Amino acid sequence: MRSAISRFRNLLAGAAALIGSLAAPPLLAEDTLSLGLGQAREMAVQALKAGDPGLAIALARGLIKADPQDFVAHYVLASAEAGLNRPDASRKAAAQAFKYADTPTARFRSAQLAARMAYAQDRYSLSQLWLRRAAIHAPDDGAEDAVARDYRLLRRINPWSVRLQVDVRPSSNVNKGADSALQIIDGVPVTGYLGGSAQALSGLITSVDLYSAYRIDSTDRSSTSVLGRVYMQRVALSAEAKDQAPDASGSDFGTTFAEAGLRHIWQTGPRGAASAAVTLGEAWAAGERSFRFARLNADHGWNLGRGHRVELSALTESRYMARYATNDARVWGLGASWTKRLTNGDRLDVTLAWRDTDAQHPNGTYTSASLRTEYELGRPVGPVTLSGAVILGYTDYPDFVSGGFIQVPGGRQDESIYGEINMMFQDVDFAGFVPMLRLRAGEKDSNDSRYSMKEFTLSVGFRSKF
C-alpha cells in the first residue's frame, strides 16, 4: 500500500486533475493513472491513514470536483487539513461533510470534528453550537455523555454565556384577577360589583427570557462580567375571557423587562464565594413604560461540607421616572437559602425572602415575606426527573386605598400558598435540550376580596441537560 502511495505522490498533479474529470471517459497515459471514483476514494482514505495529508487533500479535492456532494471526500479533506494544523479550512470542510452525510454516525463525527476545529480557533460559542449538533446524532449514551462533558468544559472556558428560556402556559388567571365579582373588605360587602377585567380571566401566557453575560476580566480567584437580560410576557385571552371582559385585550396584560449591568465574583476562601452586581433597567406594562430602576445586589455562599450549602443575599433598588406613583419607590431586600444534597442523591432547598417597598403612593408601600421549600428526586422515575415545591407568602400594606376611594381599615393583608410539580423528560432529547412540564396551583387570600384569587397553570418549556 505504501508503495502505491509513493507512486501517487510522484504522479500527484496528473492524478488530481484526472479525478476531477472522472465523469468523462477514462484516459490512460504513461505519466497518469486512471482511477474510478471508488478507487480514488479508497486511496484518499489510505493516504490519510498513512500520514500523507498532502496527497489526501489533493485526492479529496479531485473527488469533490467530480462530485461536490461526496461525504467521504469532504471528511477526508477536513481530517487532512486538521492534520496540517489548519483549523479554519478543516472546520469548513467538516461543515460540508456534515451537510452531505447520510447516516447519523457520519453526522456525529463531522459535527465533533467541526467542534474541535472551532475550539482550536478559540471560537468557543461556535464550538458549543457544533456540539449541540453532534448531540442530535449521538449514536449511544456514551457518545452523548462525552458531548456533555465537552460542553461543560467549554462553558467554563467561554467568556460569553447565553441562556434562553421559552415557556407556554395555559392559565386560569392570566391577569391576577379576583375569584369573585363581590368585593368584601374585612367581611363587609362593598356596594357594587367588580368589572369583568378585574376578575380572573383565562387564557394563554407565552414568555421569553433571554440572559447573556460576557466575561471581560478573570483571574484564578475572581472574574468580572457585563450582563444583560430581556424578559417578555405576552397574553392571549380565551373566548370565555373575551365574553367576560369584551373591552379587555391580551396586550393589556403583557409585560416587558430589560436590564444591563456589571457583576464581579470572587472567592472568599476555600469554601466560599461572593458576588456583587449593579444594574440599570426599565419595565413596561400594557405597551407603556412603567418605571426605570437602578439596583445593587450582593450575595455570599458557603459550601459547608457533607452536602450542605448556605447562601445569604441583599439588594437595594431605586425606581424612578414611574408612570404611576405606586411604582415610584425604594426597595430593600434580604434573602437566605439552605441546600442539602442527601446521600441517596435527592436534594432539599429552603429559601427565605423579605422585601420592604416604600413608594410615593400608599398602595405601593408594603412589606412581604416568603418561604419556598423544594424537594428534587436524584433518580428519575421512569423517563421523568421529578421535583416539587411549596411556597408560602405574606404581604402587608399598612395603609391601603381600595378602588381609588375606599380606605381599608388596618390596611390590606394578603396570605398565599402555592404548590408546583416539575417534570423533566430526560429521554426526549434534541440537541441537549429536554422538555419540562410544570403544574402550578394555589390561592391568595386577602382581607380585601378584590385581591383574593385562585390560579392553576400548566407550563411547557425546554431546559438544557448540560
Q: Is 52 strand, coil or helix?
A: coil
Query: Which domains does the chain show, CATH number per domain?
Result: 2-156 (1.25.40.10), 164-464 (2.40.160)
What's the pLDDT score for residue 186? 78
Task: Name the band, by pLDDT with cuts 50, 70 and 90, for residue 12.
Answer: very low
Q: Is 84 strand, coil or helix?
A: coil
For residues 145 and 143, what is the distance between their CA atoms, to the nearest angstrom? 5
What's the pLDDT score for residue 187? 74
Task: Name the band, by pLDDT with cuts 50, 70 and 90, for residue 35.
Answer: low
Q: Answer yes or no: are the C-beta atoms of 97 and 75 closer than 8 Å.
A: yes
Over residues 286-304, the pLDDT tens digits come to 999 999 999 999 999 999 9
Over residues 239-267, the pLDDT tens digits come to 999 999 999 999 999 999 999 999 999 99
What's the pLDDT score for residue 185? 82
Q: pTM of the prediction? A: 0.86
Over residues 322-372, the pLDDT tens digits come to 999 999 999 999 999 999 999 999 999 999 999 999 999 999 999 999 999
Over residues 170-207, the pLDDT tens digits come to 999 999 999 888 888 877 777 567 888 999 999 999 99
For residues 62 and 16, what is the distance between their CA atoms, to the nearest angstrom? 5
Q: Answer yes or no: are the C-beta atoms of 385 and 411 closer than 8 Å.
A: no
CA triplet 288, 291, 292: central angle to 5 degrees? 125
Axis-axis angle for helices 37-49, 12-20 (nearest 10): 140
What's the pLDDT score for residue 405? 83
Over residues 426-462, the pLDDT tens digits come to 888 889 899 999 999 999 999 999 999 999 999 999 8
Task: Name the band, by pLDDT with cuts 50, 70 and 90, for residue 3.
Answer: very low
To which residue does cell 419556598 refer?
A: 372
Instruction: Examine the pLDDT at 30 and tell me if it is beyond 90.
Output: no
Q: Is 76 strand, coil or helix?
A: helix
Q: What percent of the chain has pLDDT over 70?
A: 92
Beta-strand relationship, 188-193 and 203-218 = unpaired
User: Which of 25-29, 51-55, 195-199, 272-276 bottoms out in mean pLDDT, i.e. has the lowest?
Assistant: 25-29
| CB neighbour class for 430 (10 Å; exposed up to 12, middle 13-18, buried from 19) | exposed
Task: Name the band, by pLDDT with cuts 50, 70 and 90, for residue 466.
Answer: confident
For residues 145 and 429, what is the distance between their CA atoms, to the nearest angstrom? 13
Q: b vs e for 109-123, b when ≥16 Cβ sit within 10 Å of the residue's Cβ?
A: bbbbbbbbbbbbeeb
For residues 185 and 183, what is the distance between their CA atoms, to the nearest angstrom? 7
Task: Name the band, by pLDDT with cuts 50, 70 and 90, for residue 135.
Answer: very high
Nearest to 451 by CA among 198, 173, 187: 198
